[in-house]
Amino acid sequence: MQLESKCKTASVANSSKSWIVVSGEAYFEMAMPLDGMSAGWRLVRGTLLRSGGDYDARLYYDLGKGFGEESYFPIPTSGKGTINEVIHFPAGVRRIMFVPMRSAGEFELSGFSFADIGVADRIWRMARRIMKMIWLHPRSKRQPLGLSLFRMLVDLQGAYDAANKLRAHAAAPNYSDWLAKFDTHNANDDRLIDRDICTIKSAPHFNVLVVTDGVDHGAVQKTLHSLDAQAYRVFTYTVLTKDAADHYERDDGDVASYLFSITPAQMTAWLEKFRKMLATKNGQEWVIVLRAGQLLASHALYWFASEAVSKPDATVIYADDDELDANGQRCRPRFKPDFSLAHLHATNFVGDAVALRAGAVISVGGLNRDCVQHGNYDLLLRVVDALGDDGQKKIVHIPGVLLHDARTPGGASETSEWCMNSLRAHFSCNGIAVNVSGTFPGCWRVRYRLPEVVPLVSIVVPTRDKLELIRHCLGSVLEKTSYPNYEILVVDNQSSEPEVLAFLERMSRQEKVRVLRYDLPFNFSAMNNMAVQQARGEAICLLNNDTEVISPDWIEEMLGHLLQPKVGVVGAKLYFRDGRVQHAGDLVGVGGVANHAQLFLQRDEPGYCNRAMVAQEMSAVTAACLVTWRKLYLEQGGLDEQHLPVSFNDVDYCLKVRSNGYRVVWTPHAELYHYESMSRGKDLTSAQKRLAKQEVSYMRKNWKHVLHTDPYYNPNLSYERPDFSLNHAPMVKKPWR
């Protein structure tokens, strides 16, 4: 049986077996015999390649009452798009509908069919899938899914379903299902937490300030109830309220709480008294500032305390968070990356789920009225600044949702402006000249002012034939670039087309352009290394010949970040020809060795937690457009010519730079088109495929200790693909287990 070739959708364009879903949900239908399809096992096969926002393919069936969300089979695929699923259909199926993806994007579908399958063949196929996933994935990843050899023997279907969740392109769980499986405590969890709390020595004490912001009494009570429910009891909370008639005083044994009625004069006096009180305590005091309507998870203070004890140098501890909808249901989680200074300079991604060591708070002047009114951003900036260049080691990220925000958004514009003013003051205090402007709500752009005498930037462009590519690339650089001090080194790798040779000859007469000859077989690393050796610039820009400049100040933007302390590499935001995102930094170990983040977003889409719109540190960036210091490049040995002549050489370089204490920053404000691999083509020959496998093997062996977890991703998110979807098997070690 085969599906009809007609694709029905709200808005779709197709050519042969390829479709572009513009809007709505694409689907294919198949009609069954009048008496319906008989029950039984069937093998569903085909090839489905997708480029878009999701990998949630579904096969719906209609038993005569229409299609519904309770009657479908998930259809996972391999990384290459292979569909090979064994499915048991109920009796009486009258129609089948196949949904290849549930969002806008592109897909190719071919050979889709299903047929009856015998018992022996079914068992063999299911067992083979299970064994493959057991072989490929460590026990820590299989255990949360219940995937084991024993289960295969006693529950073949259950083990098969679990194995399918580890396929490269399996549908991600929704948040409510994920919470039920991975973030719901049972009696045993509570017992283990209580037992662990009893072992804590020199217990940290948390000073929790609850700011009412003039909200209703119910929101305040919800916050206080969440504090009363804490498993860890070594804390004090104080309610700061604008209405002296409100009463929230309590005294529950070791948990004391106080009422404070805010007036400007009283607030200043109380904050000073609070600062002096903290100064008299030992080093185990911590400060948490909450807004009324924010709820701490019952194990939140315990997890904060556990991290404070296990990491005695920790000064800032922050956690993930989510929101509560009108019905009190948890939604919109923010699974955050580890700390990044560039990220904090672009948005307060740390948020309110954060505990600050009191000694550090006191040393930077303590809390002020603005912190109480607008939030902790200014305080965070001051504390992080005091930690210095190596302070990131003292900033701890807990990969767990410990705060739930039930507040109604309001005052965002005023708070955002206050945050930008705080950021300006922060840079001013450090003698760094910047311009700060808002971009996306809650996000801002920092433009670093360059020195009067700007460094020479050497732009290295490897190329071979393909006149239109190199013409567009060099033309866009020369015509659009506003940065005044640069040179272009074109590395010609055996071009043979007469028009290309003539073009390069003309280009070589330009004052800013030099053409270098590389007369050996293609080796991207060696070509760049040769050019850098001959470059005159203090800074190097590696630039592919299939790129085209969009933003005139692209070099100023990247160089501004490169001039900041301990920054060794800066990458740009790249787009496909149609304007969708091609590169927004690289994630390592996610979906393979490395993959681009935020793929296929529209240019103005914010991405996960607005991360496609803000500068931030990443594990790596692509050499399609990469700026680094020439001295550092040479110190690191440049790109690896021997082991990585074609792929992953840029990732390897970035990881080497990071391992030596430098930062890799990606900025969305340097924008270029990237037509990706158009001059070389795809890896199709057997020799190219063999080389690609060797490069993958080298990266996995050489960077094994790095690829298992990317600090700028989150272990609660999928490591099967870099789309920020939820992980079927979160790699989070909880302190009580």
Residue 209, helix vs strand vs coil: strand
At 354-411, the pLDDT tens digits run 999 999 999 999 998 888 888 999 999 999 999 987 788 999 999 999 999 998 765 5
Q: How far, rounded to the nearest angstrom, does the alpha carbon of residue 145 sit from its chain's CA centroid?
A: 23
Rounded Cα distance between 259 and 240, Å, is 6
pLDDT of 679 strictly over 50: no
Number of H helices and E strands in the chain, helices first, is 22, 33
- Number of Cβ atoms within 10 Å of the Cβ of 54: 16
CA 427 from chain centre, in angstroms, equals 27
Task: Please return the burial class of 674, using the count of CB atoms within 10 Å of its CB with bins 0-12, 13-18 and 19+.
Answer: buried
Span of 30-34, 670-674, 716-720 with lowest mean pLDDT: 30-34
Query: Spelled out in words, what is the top-level CATH class assigned to the domain 11-174?
Result: mainly beta
If DSSP codes are grouped into helix, strand and coil, which group holds residue 233? coil
The tens digit of pLDDT for each residue in 71-109 reads 999 999 998 899 999 999 999 898 899 999 887 777 888
The span from the CA of 163 to the CA of 303, in Å, is: 31
> What pLDDT does 114 receive?
85
Q: How confident is the model at residue 10 (pLDDT cuts 50, 70, 90)?
A: very low
Across the chain, what does the average pLDDT equal?
90
130/140: higher pLDDT: 130
**CATH architecture of residue range(s) 187-408:** Alpha-Beta Complex (3.90)
Of 121-135, 215-229, 509-523, 647-661, the least confident? 215-229
pTM: 0.91
The region of weakest confidence among 207-221, 350-364, 552-566, 617-631 is 207-221
pLDDT for res 41 = 95
597 falls in which pLDDT band (50, 70, 90)?
very high
Beta strands 586-588 and 594-596 are antiparallel
For residue 451, give the DSSP letter: P
Q: What is the DSSP string of 677-715?
A: STTT----SHHHHHHHHHHHHHHHHHTHHHHT--TTS-T
Helix H or strand E encompassing 136: helix 119-136
Count of CB atoms situated within 10 Å of the CB of 208: 23
The band of 244, judged by pLDDT with boundaries at 50, 70 and 90, is: very low
pLDDT beyond 60 at 138:
yes
* pLDDT tens sequence across 199-209: 998 899 999 99
In DSSP terms, 168 is beta-bridged to none
pLDDT of residue 257: 59
Q: Does residue 526 surpass a pLDDT of 80?
A: yes
CATH 3.90.550.10 fits 457-707, yes or no: yes
Q: How confident is the model at residue 16 (pLDDT cuts 50, 70, 90)?
A: low
For residues 290 and 296, the answer to whether their CB atoms sit within 8 Å is yes
Mean pLDDT, rounded, for 471-492:
97
